[in-house]
A = this chain, B = another copy of it.
Amino acid sequence: MGGLFMEQFALKGNVLYTPRKDELKTCPNAYVICREGICEGVYETLPEEFREIHVMDFGDSLIIPGMVDLHIHAPQYAFRGTGMDCELLDWLNTHTFPEEAKYANLDYASRAYGIFADHMRKSATTRAVIFGTIHREATLLLMDLMEGSGLVSYVGKVNMDRDSPDSLRETTEASAMETLAFIRASAEKNYQRTMPILTPRFIPSCSDSLLERLSEIRRAHDLPVQSHLSENPEEVALVKKLMPQAEFYGDGYDRFGLFGREAKTVMAHCVYSTEAEVERILKNGVWVAHCPNSNMNLASGIAPVRKYIDAGLRVGLGSDVAGGQSESIFRAITDAIQMSKIYWRYLDKTARPLTFSEGFYLATKGGGSFFGRVGSFEAGYEFDAVVLDDSSVVHPQELTLAERLERAVYLGLDGECIRAKFVRGVA
């Protein structure tokens, strides 16, 4: 991601994308055209008006939309893949909070976030919605680094004023003031692709007064919101106790205008959302960040994604590092499909398993909608593309393009096999 920008160009190769969840389009040896960062569509041959544009020929490679990660914790990246013998609340106290406390130290933050941003740059992810920590300065540093990574991202300074260890507990007032300072400072940076997002950690660590203050700040600055919702039964029970007046967990955010409607909002997990909560999510247009890897690792459960899709909810995928072990959204696709199969088998035989096409859709156009017209090669979409060279995977038989993509995702070829990546048309 050197920031190379060309007004218009075409990528040539095998183009695959999902304009609809049930339709995996496969276009062999096709041209996907970018003009000023926007996709002009996919063509078998170059149209007359584009005959002169620069063509990057990627031969037999696969060209797909960039992956969208709707939920990832940057400060947890350092301990991904460790401490997995825990459930959520235990895991937060034993592993997560002690690590997040370290980000008070800017040297540590610089080293750790540098590693994180470098991995995001190398990944197939082109868009991400990111949690920082409570620390304003470290989170601004994270924004600088994400800006440099080439991804388009939302980054949030976390708010926590109760039920947290001393080292990660702000006063209500400090939390609000630091959030305002964070918003101001990030505005002064004039980032091209990095935006602040309000980030109350979850209701257990935010008092009503803090949510009230964040609500005011949100209205004043028209910011989007990210948080956690109905991830774990004990967490849901704790929220009921802490905020008895809320009809359900999500209502706890909604009472403060932090749950969709005019506030663009993404909520991670939604494993235990009640019918009333699902209705509110739908009515308020809240995005659900489905994080199956994390939901397995923390023994949280399985979110009923089929039901959410059928009900018309906005659903995308999240890696949820470090509840999730990896930043790979390819992995999130297969985890989502696999968990939907287990859900179908044991919990609801009417909830048909996700297909590969549907999983891919969630990872691209599903989550992409949080960023606007993102996640597809239809004309008018922002031009996010990943080029995968799967030629290192030797095989004895012919494969269709759809099979090659399915294999690339199941085998996790979003590491060494990425040959190029474009975000809004910038390489």
Contact = CB atoms under 8 A, between A and B. Distances in A.
Contacts of A80: 407, 410-411
What is the oligomeric copy number? Answer: 2
A82 B403 contact: yes
A345 B115 contact: no
Nearest to A300: B345
Interface in A353-404: 353, 355-356, 394-397, 399, 403
Interface stretch (A10-18, A43-51, A147-155, A334-342): A334-342
Contacts of A346: 301-302, 346-347
Interface in A149-202: none
B115 A82 contact: no
Contacts of A301: 342, 345-346
A115 B299 contact: no
A410 B79 contact: no
B395 A297 contact: no
Given A299-B341, A326-B411, A334-B325, A78 B355 contact: no
Contacts of A345: 299-301
B81 A115 contact: no
Nearest to A292: B338
Interface in A65-96: 78-85
User: Which of A99, A108, A353 is the most central at the interface, judged by chain B CB atoms within 10 Å of its CB?
Assistant: A353
B395 A78 contact: yes
Contacts of A355: 85
Contacts of A78: 395-397
Contacts of A112: 396-397
B297 A81 contact: no
Contacts of A410: 80-82, 84, 325-326
Contacts of A341: 296-299
Nearest first, the 4 A-B pairs at minimum CB distance are A81-B410, A299-B341, A296-B338, A81-B407
Given A78-B397, A81-B411, 16 more contacts: A78-B395, A80-B411, A81-B407, A83-B406, A84-B337, A84-B356, A99-B397, A102-B397, A111-B396, A115-B395, A296-B342, A297-B341, A299-B341, A299-B344, A299-B345, A325-B410
